Amino acid sequence: TALTGSDALREHLEQHAEEYREFLARVRDLLQMEIRITTVASPQPAATSGREYLLTKQAVVEAEENYAGKLRSAAEDMIREWKVRKTQNSLRCYALVSRSDAAAFRQRMQSVLSSNPAVHVVLSGPWPATEFLDVIVKA
């Protein structure tokens, strides 16, 4: 969020103080892990039609979503919340996990990551749980 100065920041915090308090209480002992999934494209001839192009794109999206499902299932018992966001070239998954489960979560993800060479996966974190904060600022 970009605010125009300290007065705007102060006003924003005053307006949303309760939301921030609730969020901080909710994620007190939690952290965010990020998983970025990109399908490794095999060399294919150029699409000869718009339909072929869209079918190829659809297959990529489905492969990424299926892989995200496998990753989530591998650590379902540790994940408090899960969010998925599609970007232009990848699928970004965010897992909210307990601080005490961070190492075990990473291990489980690593065991699944090594099993599919057609998908490139980057696991990062721990991060602050910013992806799970829903305060919206209108500029």
Look at residue 137 and tell me whether its pLDDT is greater than 60: no
User: What would you measure as the largest C-alpha separation in the chain, in angstroms?
Assistant: 57
Residues 108-129, buried b or exposed e (16+ Cβ, 10 A)?
bbeebbeebeebebebebbeeb
Q: What is the pLDDT of residue 139?
A: 43
The DSSP symbol for 5 reads S
Alpha-helical regions (H) of 6-101: 6-26, 50-74
Q: 8, 78 in Cβ contact below 8 A?
A: no
List, for residues 23-77, the tens digit of each pLDDT value.
Answer: 999 999 999 999 998 876 655 556 677 887 777 777 777 878 888 898 999 999 9
Count of all residues that appear for the chain in the document: 139
> What is d(CA 107, CA 78) in angstroms, rounded to the nearest whole number?
12
List, for residues 116-131, the tens digit of each pLDDT value.
Answer: 667 788 899 999 999 9
List, for residues 68-114, the tens digit of each pLDDT value.
Answer: 898 999 999 999 999 999 988 888 999 999 999 999 999 999 888 76
Q: What is the pLDDT of residue 42?
A: 53
Q: How far is CA 126 from CA 70, 95, 99, 103, in A?
A: 20, 10, 9, 10
